[in-house]
Amino acid sequence: MQAIIIEQYGGPEQLKWAQVPMPLVGPRDVLVEVYAAGVNPVDWKIREGRLRQRIDYPMPLILGWDAAGVVQQVGPQVTHLHPGDPVFTRPATDRNGAYAEYLAVDESLVARKPQNLSFVEAASVPLAALTAWDGLVEHGHLKAGQRVLIQAGAGGVGVYAIQLAKALGAQVFTTTSAGNRDFVKDLGADEVVDYHTEDFAQRWQGLDLVFDLLGGSVQESSFQVLKPGGHLVSIVQPPSTELARLHQVDIAYFFLQPDGKKLAQLGEWLEQGKLRPVVGKVFALADARAAHALSMSGHAKGKIVLQVKK
């Protein structure tokens, strides 16, 4: 099959078009013909070798841990999926990914594709929406009526975090550029700060939760807007325990663990119109380098998707 591979860690130039063997299908695996693959920051962080202490991959490696396509084959222990089923998935990151014509993935990480979504739209959902759910609900314990700040609301995870927080009954605050103000308001944000011209830490106080998608100085300033007993949850870097004690808030840092049952629930919300996909830019699989460059710029609006098959 054809795929985009890396043979060593490095920059976007390491992404190469190649002919590779078909993936092996284990007893609990489904073989998915990939129609579209999402692009996420974790892809280029792995490509650069930033996560080597967590997983040191054998080379060559196929990146990409968001996919939508059609089941072509199932292992002997698979019980809920069948050849011909349209599906979407956030595969495990300890196996080859979805920048390829075919993907083998454990059945427990796969859900049926929402009927109202195209394959490109469906591929934009799993990693970002699952991350938003875990950040807000599993780690942030967000409840109806609470106030939550979502940093970088126009980004891949932010667009789902805004929608989920609103669907859960929270009051939603977010930061973005002026050009994206109407965009995030349309997703459900109640109050918006243009990070170029205004200091969010001076604007807001006494919030229940901050979902940090940026890290660095933004994360440090986020402690100032929380009330005592609030939560700061990050997917970028572990928050400071010293600042947490100073501000009397709980902190969490997590790396997403994929879950097909949660994805199926999100799929139902997508079919019901409680959530909607936000595809910012679509590239051909052969243009993976350009897709990575856009993701690395930090200026992507919504999700970036590689179209593998039309």
Distance CA 136, CA 150 (A): 10
Task: Report the topology of domain 2-125+277-307.
Answer: Quinone Oxidoreductase; Chain A, domain 1 (3.90.180)
Each residue's pLDDT tens digit in the chain (310 positions)? 999 999 999 999 999 999 999 999 999 999 999 999 999 999 999 999 998 888 889 999 999 999 999 999 999 999 999 999 999 999 999 999 999 999 999 999 999 999 999 999 999 999 999 999 999 999 999 999 999 999 999 998 999 999 999 999 999 999 999 999 999 999 999 999 998 899 999 999 999 999 999 999 999 999 999 999 999 999 999 999 999 999 999 999 999 999 999 999 999 999 999 999 999 999 999 999 999 999 999 788 889 999 999 8
Q: Is 235 left (phi over 0), alpha (psi -120 to 50) or beta?
A: alpha
Under CATH, what is the fold of the domain 128-253? Rossmann fold (3.40.50)
Question: Within its chain, how far is the Cα of 143 from the centroid?
Answer: 22
For the chain, give every residue range classified as CATH 3.90.180.10. 2-125+277-307
The answer to whether the Cα torsion of 19, 21, 22, 28 is positive or negative is negative
Q: Helix (H, G, I), strand (E, B), or coil: what is residue 86?
A: strand
* Angle between helical axes of 158-167 and 126-133 (0-180°, round to 10): 50
pLDDT value of residue 299: 80
C-beta neighbour count of 187 within 10 angstroms: 25
Helix (H, G, I), strand (E, B) or coil at 80: coil
Report the DSSP beta bridge partners of residue 39: 304
**Nearest one of 37, 41, 48 to 15, comparing CA atoms:** 48
Say what the pLDDT of residue 213 is: 95
Distance of CA 307 to the CA centre of its chain: 17
Pairing of strands 102-106, 29-39: antiparallel
CA torsion, points 96, 98, 101, 106, in degrees to nearest 10? Answer: 70
Q: Where in the chain is the domain with CATH 3.40.50.720?
A: 128-253
